[in-house]
Amino acid sequence: MKMEKQILHPNNPSVQPEKAPFRFSKEGIFILLCLAPAIVLVSVFVYYPIIKGSVMAFQNYTLFDLMNIHFIGLDNFKAVISSPNFATVVKNSVYWVFISLFFQLVLGFALALSMRKHFKGRGIYQGLVFFPWAMSGFLIGLIWRWMFNGQFGVINDLLLKTGLIDAPIAFLAEAKWAMASVIIANIWYGVAFFAIMILAALQSIPDELYEAAEIDGANKLHQLFYITLPYILPTLFITVLLRVIWILNFPDIIYSMTNGGPAGATHILSTYLIDKVMFEQNYGQASAVGLIIVVILLSFMVFFTKASKFEKKGDF
């Protein structure tokens, strides 16, 4: 349970003054040698392009107008934010992240709880229900795109058969359905991750705790609230935090299901960004969208860690 503090407080290094500088020690060289590959690679191939890309956010940098690349201050941000689609994109991103997250969390938690105790065939069961996590978002998008097909889609057929609808719905063609459809696909994909994380946490709860509670006459509900939840809370927090970041930065499902359509009704920030790079080729505005994502996520992280009162000092 040490890690979450560290993860949440990366920028709070407490340098140990009592330790002598290692500058000339053998140990120092060892440390450097081990870290160098990671640091060098990440600096060159992650930080450098990202910083260079971020600079583009302040430039008129589009492939349609290559002769005319120059700094334009905040114009890209203005253009992005004032574009009529942007409000939809932000709204979609909020739906996409929080609705997906809510159902993934609740279902994942329920799944993990149900699987905590060993039952016959649990291994196989686990393998099957966790499998979506190992699939690519792109393929998941394809599969659901086929199932949501307006003419030959199985979902329409099932809904017709059960009498829930009278006529097939063009799920991916109508704005109001399209967003719901991509979110459903995303929930299907993401439950497994929560379940895996929570199950791992549940399994590390000593059984004695429950036995003791049983003897004290605590019912299952009490056990859930007084033993299970407090014990796995740190895992929940870190998982939620990670998922918010990942879900927002996860364009694959939408990319293959609707590619942002119809009429941009299913664009979220990250698909919007990719669209700006790959199709509009407006690198400047794309980077502006990217920086907006960074600002949103950073403020979310600060807010979230504050709200969850994880304020103890990290130890490095």
Partner 1 sequence: MTNAGIWLRTLKVVFLSIFLAITIFPLYWIIITSFKMQKDIFSLPIQYWPKEFTLDNYIQIFKISHFQTYIFNSFLVSIVASFIVLIISMLGGYVLARFKFKGKGQVMGGFLITQIVPIFIGMAPLYMMMSKMQLVNHLFSLMLIYTVMLIPFCTIIMVGFFQRIPASLEEAAMIDGCSRISALFKVIVPVMLPGIMATLIFAFVQCWNELIMAVMFIDEESVKTIPVAMNSFIKKYDIEWGAMSAGTVLSVIPTMILFAFCQKYLVNGLTQGAVKG
Partner 2 sequence: MRSRKKYFALFFSICLLLSIVVGCSKESSTKSNGNGKDSDGKVTLKMIESLSSPSRTALLNELIDKFEAANPKIKVELISPPFNGADQKITQMLMAKEALDVVEVREFNAKQFAMNGFIENLKPYTEKWKNYDSLNDIAKKRANWVDNTPYYIPNGLYERVLFYRTDWFKEAGLEVPKTWDEFYEAAKKLTNPSKNRYGYSFRGGPTGWDYALITMWAYNGKEVNPDNAFYLENGKTLFSSAKSLEALNFYKKVYKEVSPPDSINWGYPEMVQGFVSGSTAMLIQDAEVIDAAKEKLKDGTWATAPLPIGPSGVAQQVVSGPGWGMTAYSKHKKEAWKLIEFLSDPEQSNEYTKRSSVIPVHQNAFDDEFYKTGYFKPYGDMNAQPEIFLDVTRPIDFKGWGAWQSAADQDLQAFLSGNTSAKDLLKKWDQYWTKEKAENKK
Q: Is 83 left (phi over 0), alpha (psi -120 to 50) or beta?
A: beta
HSE-CB at 216 with a 13 A cutoff on CA atoms is 12
Q: Name the minimum Å distance from CB 118 to partner 2.
A: 42
Most distant CA pair in the chain, distance: 78
Q: CA 154 to CA 55: how far, in whole Å?
A: 47
CB of 134 to partner 2, least distance (A): 24
Contact 183, 95 (CB under 8 A): yes
Residues 64-93 that bind partner 2 (CB under 8 A): 64-67, 85
- The smaller minimum CB distance to partner 1, of residues 251 and 264, is found at 251
Q: In angstroms, what is the minimal distance from the CB of 204 to partner 2?
A: 36
Cβ of residue 51: shortest distance to partner 1, in angstroms?
8
Q: Is 40 in the site for partner 2 (CB under 8 A)?
A: yes
Of these, 63, 106, 135, 302, which contacts partner 2 (CB under 8 A)? 63
Interface with partner 2 by CB under 8 A: which range of 12-20, 37-45, 101-109, 301-309?
A: 37-45
Give yes or no for a contact between 254 and 271, defined as CB atoms under 8 angstroms apart: yes
Q: Kindly tell me the sign of the dihedral angle through the C-alpha atoms of 42, 43, 48, 54.
A: positive
- Under rule CB under 8 A, residue 29 binds partner 2: yes
What is the enclosing helix (H) or strand (E) of 176? helix 175-203
**Exactly one of 15, 134, 164, 167 binds partner 2 (CB under 8 A); which one?**
167
Instruction: State the residues that interact with partner 2 by CB under 8 A.
Output: 23-24, 28-29, 32-33, 36-37, 40-41, 62-67, 85, 149-151, 167, 170, 172-175, 258, 261-265, 278-282
